[in-house]
């Protein structure tokens, strides 16, 4: 049976690959933006409510477009997600349909 000689270069490469993978995971986590529902809602700073969102708020209804999420609607209108859910008790935020109407007041 031949003598086993460990390859130190392979071991070093394996450790470096593990470190690179961990750094990649941290970078992805830090750069992924999630909506915590705690936006400034137009208080104490520049409002990030879109023009379309302001028009929808004036009309009192948001019509869901393809790809809309409750978080995006919240950001565009300046209305907190929990408020939107209270105003629309039958609303399933995971199953928004194009053309669906969401009450804003």
Domain range list for the chain: 51-103
CATH number of 51-103: 3.10.350.10
pLDDT at 42: 44
Confidence of residue 37 (pLDDT cuts 50, 70, 90): very low
pLDDT at 33: 56
The model's pTM is 0.50
Task: Report pLDDT digits (tens) over 60-97.
Answer: 888 888 888 999 999 888 889 999 999 999 989 898 98
3-state secondary structure of 54: helix
Cα 99 to Cα 52, 55, 62, 77, 102, distances in angstroms:
15, 17, 9, 17, 10
- The C-alpha atoms of residue 49 and residue 75 are separated, in whole angstroms, by 6
Geometric angle at alpha carbon 16, from 30 and 25, rounded to 5°: 20
Contact 37, 79 (CB under 8 A): no
Averaged confidence pLDDT in the chain: 80
Confidence of residue 30 (pLDDT cuts 50, 70, 90): confident
């Amino acid at each position: 049976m031949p003598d086993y000689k460990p390859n130190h270069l392979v071991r070093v490469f394996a450790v470096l690959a593990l470190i690179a993978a961990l750094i990649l995971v941290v970078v992805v986590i830090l750069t992924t933006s999630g909506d915590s529902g705690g936006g400034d809602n137009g208080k104490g700073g520049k409002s990030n409510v879109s023009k379309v969102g302001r028009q929808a708020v004036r009309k009192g209804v948001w019509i869901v477009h393809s790809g809309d999420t409750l978080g995006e609607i919240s950001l565009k209108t300046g209305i907190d997600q929990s408020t939107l859910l209270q105003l629309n008790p039958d609303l399933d935020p995971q199953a928004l349909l194009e053309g669906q109407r969401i009450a804003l007041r």
